Structure 1
Amino acid sequence: MKQPQILAFDIFGTVVDWHGSVAREVQALLPGVDGDAFALAWRAGYQPAMRRVMSGELGWTLIDDLHRLILDGLLTQFGVTDLSEAQKIELNRVWHRLDAWPDSVAGLQRLKTRFTICTLSNGNIGLLTNMAKRAGLPWDCILSAEVFRAYKPDPATYLGVAKVFDVSPADVMLVAAHQDDLAAARACGLATAYIERPLEFGAPRPKDVSPDPANTWHATSLTQLAEQLGC
């Protein structure tokens, strides 16, 4: 089986635990609020907000700013009225402070010995850089929707990785925990690897991680993917 040259990684849910990280910070800052429910609601606003950009209703908007739009609505929804502007800004930056899954750093370090590894996330560059610095994620390159001014699943994002590195789409593999992301990448000619993250939405809501034979690779962790790829 032909191996790729570039491994491009989805981030939220694939490399980092957004749910656990956001829920903990919300619970600590707002003890009277259900951190689990708040985290899920914040993430649930993500796709509708991006659609407003992709439809042209909003001009190009960074994820940081979309997160803040969603947050302002959630604070009202959850009855939070006593946060200062500085506290709102700091809470919105929780997305810069997401914890890596336990296998992520070791797996990426192994994969980096053989492949060029980069992000391919809808998160903006500043967010992804701060996250990598804090969590020790050893990227060779940070690519973002911000670079291509298009959000996944726009083909410009997947094909943009190949263009940046001057390789064919088949030389790029998207690594993700989301089958819809992987299907969109395959439609652009990329190879794909599915990573099981059954606890992405928290332990009470285990996710279906059944294999899809359309993926080139399927692994339970990034360290297992490294083993499969001979790293």
Structure 2
Amino acid sequence: MDNVSASGIKALVFDVFGTVVDWRSGVAREVAAFIASAQVTVDPFEFADAWRREYAPAMAEVRAGNRGFVRLDVLHRENLEKALMGFGIDPQSIPAASLDELNLAWHKLDPWPDAVPGLSRLKERFIIAPLSNGNIRLMLDIAKRAGIPWDAILGAEVVRMYKPAPSVYLDTAELLAIEPAELCMVAAHNDDLKAAKACGLKTAFVSRPREHGGAQTKDLFAEGQWDFVASSFIELADMMLGVGQSKRQ
């Protein structure tokens, strides 16, 4: 491993779903409560996975220009109905208010145990903000509930486009009044980092091997020449703040 320095980096932006917060457990918890009240029979984790699978195709429609930009809360609500139909449940048989409440599951996610302590340390030196496909209110609700110490809320709704479109990364650097090379993208997803690197950003991979549960097969390890590779936000803070030896994948 070669030594790598955080010198020149002025801001860190973070993927949120899977990297900062455990979306799967949080959504499954809310689905379990919904099941009890709606008297439907589905496995909460299987439903959470099915709901999440609709995420990428829905955003792809926006990136392709097939529909105008809508915030992720809207896509999640539409995808909820698709997921229900996939389990043979007619969404029309459930009160809309109940579905609207379940859709807020994405606003009630818990951070990984190392996330807030690591972010708090990184905040001492760098600007830190989400660069998520989640909308502003969604990011605010997660942060307020979990005590995530963001300096700003950035991401898809701010730039009106979804990752991994280049404008999301480049426009974010411009909004912060810094060069792309002064901005570091932190994510547990190699495809997010690949897109960021192609735009000239620095990159940091933080592994989350249980994002998709015990049978996860994707993003188990760094698959690119990222600037930093860490097992937690604590280790990333050590690297970027000069504690111990930095690493390059």
Q: Is 1:29 paired with 2:34?
A: yes
User: Residue deviations 1:26-50, cap 9 Å, x none?
Assistant: 1222152111111111111011001
Task: Tell me the TM-score normalized by structure 1.
Answer: 0.95
Asked if structure 2 preserves the Cα contact closer than 8 Å seen for 1:6 and 1:173, the reply is yes
Where does residue 10 of structure 1 map in the other structure?
15
- SS of residue matched to 2:89: coil
Where does residue 149 of structure 1 map in the other structure?
160
Asked if structure 2 preserves the Cα contact closer than 8 Å seen for 1:9 and 1:118, the reply is yes
Distance in 1 between residues matched to 2:219 and 2:189, nearest whole Å: 10
- The residue type equivalent to 1:12 in the other structure is F
Per-residue deviation, 1:207: 4.3
Q: Is 1:42 paired with 2:47?
A: no
Where does residue 185 of structure 1 map in the other structure?
196
Q: Is 1:69 paired with 2:78?
A: yes
- The residue type equivalent to 1:17 in the other structure is D
Distance in 2 between residues matched to 1:56 and 1:167, nearest whole Å: 28
Per-residue deviation, 1:24: 1.7
Distance in 2 between residues matched to 1:41 and 1:176, nearest whole Å: 22
After TM superposition, the structure 1 stretch with the greater mean CA deviation from structure 2, 78-87 or 123-132, is 78-87
- The residue type equivalent to 1:70 in the other structure is N
Asked if structure 2 preserves the Cα contact closer than 8 Å seen for 1:9 and 1:175, the reply is yes
- Pairwise mapping of residues 74-223 of structure 1 onto structure 2 (< 5 A)? 74-81=83-90, 82-205=93-216, 207-223=218-234
Distance in 2 between residues matched to 1:67 and 1:115, nearest whole Å: 32
Asked if structure 2 preserves the Cα contact closer than 8 Å seen for 1:199 and 1:206, the reply is no
Distance in 2 between residues matched to 1:46 and 1:208, nearest whole Å: 17
User: Residue deviations 1:138-171, cap 9 Å, x none?
Assistant: 0000002111111111111111121111111000
- The residue type equivalent to 1:192 in the other structure is T
- SS of residue matched to 1:141: coil
Per-residue deviation, 1:208: 4.4
Per-residue deviation, 1:121: 0.6
Per-residue deviation, 1:213: 4.9
Distance in 1 between residues matched to 2:11 and 2:206, nearest whole Å: 17
Runs of 4+ in 1 over 4 A off after TM superposition: none
CA RMSD of aligned residues (A): 1.4
Asked if structure 2 preserves the Cα contact closer than 8 Å seen for 1:96 and 1:131, the reply is yes
Structure whose CA Rg is larger: 2
Asked if structure 2 preserves the Cα contact closer than 8 Å seen for 1:200 and 1:207, the reply is no
User: Residue deviations 1:75-105, cap 9 Å, x none?
Assistant: 2222335532111001001111111111111
- SS of residue matched to 1:58: coil
After TM superposition, the structure 1 stretch with the greater mean CA deviation from structure 2, 23-32 or 98-107, is 23-32
Percent identical among aligned pairs is 49
Distance in 1 between residues matched to 2:104 and 2:58, nearest whole Å: 17
Distance in 2 between residues matched to 1:3 and 1:220, nearest whole Å: 23
Q: How many residues align?
A: 231
Residue ranges of structure 2 left out of the alignment (5+ in a row): 243-249
After TM superposition, the structure 1 stretch with the greater mean CA deviation from structure 2, 5-14 or 22-31, is 22-31
Task: Tell me the TM-score normalized by structure 2.
Answer: 0.89
Residue ranges of structure 1 left out of the alignment (5+ in a row): none
